[in-house]
Structure 1
Amino acid sequence: MRKVIVSVFASMDGVQENPHEWSLVYATPEYESYARDQLFAADALLMGRVTYQGFAESWPSMSEEGPAPDDFTHRINTMQKYVVSTTLDEAGWTNSTLLKGDPAEAVRELRRQPGQDILMYGCGELARTLTRHDLVDEIRVWVHPVVLGRGESLFTGWDETRFCLAGTRTFASGVVVLAHTPIPAAEKDHRLP
């Protein structure tokens, strides 16, 4: 069964809003390599409307040309993308499929299909819904060493959700990736060893 991996950038005070405005200063070669490995371990992106619209507006215009072609940009632009939205009528970005109806059932079906991981950027309403239905296998929070003091917080609107630490990765720039697996709702009284 395919895994759904959620990857989200956050400040030390838990802000996830507009990460492109504050995260790039921390992008060292090891950071970029980890991001690349994460992307290439997946063969599909899963997005809600807000993430899709932001990505579809910016990624297609990014250059894949030059002496060292940008395989990260090429991968995002050409891989399969699934968009969960009740308000969009179409998803025009290359290889995008609009998923209507019950998002949990649609993602459950995607997980049953053969393939690599399904990668999801951001931790908004769709991630919350899928986690509530035990459809998220791991959440990777990239904590950046900056306090913003304003902006949309990580996990806004979530119900109590418990996690087990799956791993950490620390970069020289001070960014720490905290990987957690959600504990299924049926095991919410689970005690750690």
Structure 2
Amino acid sequence: MRKIIASTYTTVDGFIDNPHEWSMSYNSEDAMAYAFALTTGCDALLLGRVTYEGMAQAWPHMGGNPYSDHVNAMTKYVVASQPVDTTAWNPTVVIPGDDLTAEITKLKEQDGDDILIWGNGRLTDHLATTGLLDEYKIWIYPVLKGRGEPLFRPESVTGLNLADTTTFTSGVTVLTYRPDPSA
């Protein structure tokens, strides 16, 4: 069965918004190799509508390197209860928000590589509480932001087990947790 992995950048004080403003200077060679291996080990992106629409503005115009070419070739599954322009970033499949659990269960059971989620929001909260999210990869950047959108919300409540820790030369650390609702 395919795994669903949520990969999210956060500051030390736990904020995730506008990572392009605070993460880029920490993109060391070893961190980029890790990101490349993670991404190429997946053949699908699972995104909420807002995240998809933001990324669909930029990603289709990137290319010419193995990382962006792989991302653009991946099937994007967009969870949405509102219309989505699926022509903006092909290939894209819409998963109706009202049928999320059943559709994600079917997706996990299909043949293929793992499924990657970029970001951490209501989608990851739902998947964690229904037992469909397999891992959080939380990239902690050595930055204090002071305020912003928090990594987790009150709806995020679940137990976690630490599965791995990876630290890069830039000072970025990836903590890999597996949800454990019984903890």
TM range (shorter): over 0.9
What residue number does 1:116 align with?
113
TM-score by length of structure 2 reads 0.95
Aligned residue number for residue 36 of structure 1: 36
**Structure 2: how far apart are the matches of 1:86 and 1:4?**
21
Q: Which residue of 1 aligns with 2:129?
A: 132
**1:1-193 mapped onto 2 (5 Å cutoff):** 1-64=1-64, 70-92=65-87, 93-100=89-96, 101-183=98-180, 185=181, 187-188=182-183
In structure 1, give the amino acid aligned to 2:121: G
Q: Show structure 1 runs of 5+ residues with no match.
A: 65-69, 189-193
Runs of 4+ with deviation above 4 angstroms: none
- Aligned-residue CA RMSD (Å): 1.1
For residues 119-172 of structure 1, give each alpha carbon's deviation from its aligned partner in whole angstroms, at most 9, with x where no partner exists.
001110100011110001100000000000111000123242110000010001
Contact 1:12–1:143 (8 Å) recurs in 2: yes
Count of aligned residue pairs for this structure pair? 181
Post-superposition shift, 1:74?
0.4
Change over 3 Å in CA distance of 1:159–1:127 after alignment to 2: closer
Is the 1:5–1:118 Cα contact (8 Å) retained in structure 2? yes
SS at structure 2 position matched to 1:155: coil
The structure having more radius of gyration, on CA atoms, is 1
Q: How far does residue 106 in structure 1 lie from its aligned partner after superposition?
A: 1.0
Letter in 2 for 1:34: Y
Is the alpha carbon distance of 1:55 and 1:62 closer, same or farther for their aligned partners in structure 2, counting shifts above 3 Å?
same
Could you say what secondary structure the match of 1:146 adopts?
Answer: coil
Mapped contact 1:90–1:98 kept (Cα < 8 A): no
Q: Distance in 2 between matches of 1:44 and 1:174?
A: 29
Give CA deviations for 1:92-119 in whole Å, capped at 9, x if unaligned: 2111101113211111110000111000
Q: Tell me the CA shift for residue 90 of structure 1.
A: 3.3
Specify the code of the residue in structure 1 equivalent to 2:29. P
User: SS at the partner of 1:102?
Assistant: helix
Identify which range, 36-45 or 93-102, moves more after superposition: 93-102
SS in 2 for 1:154: coil
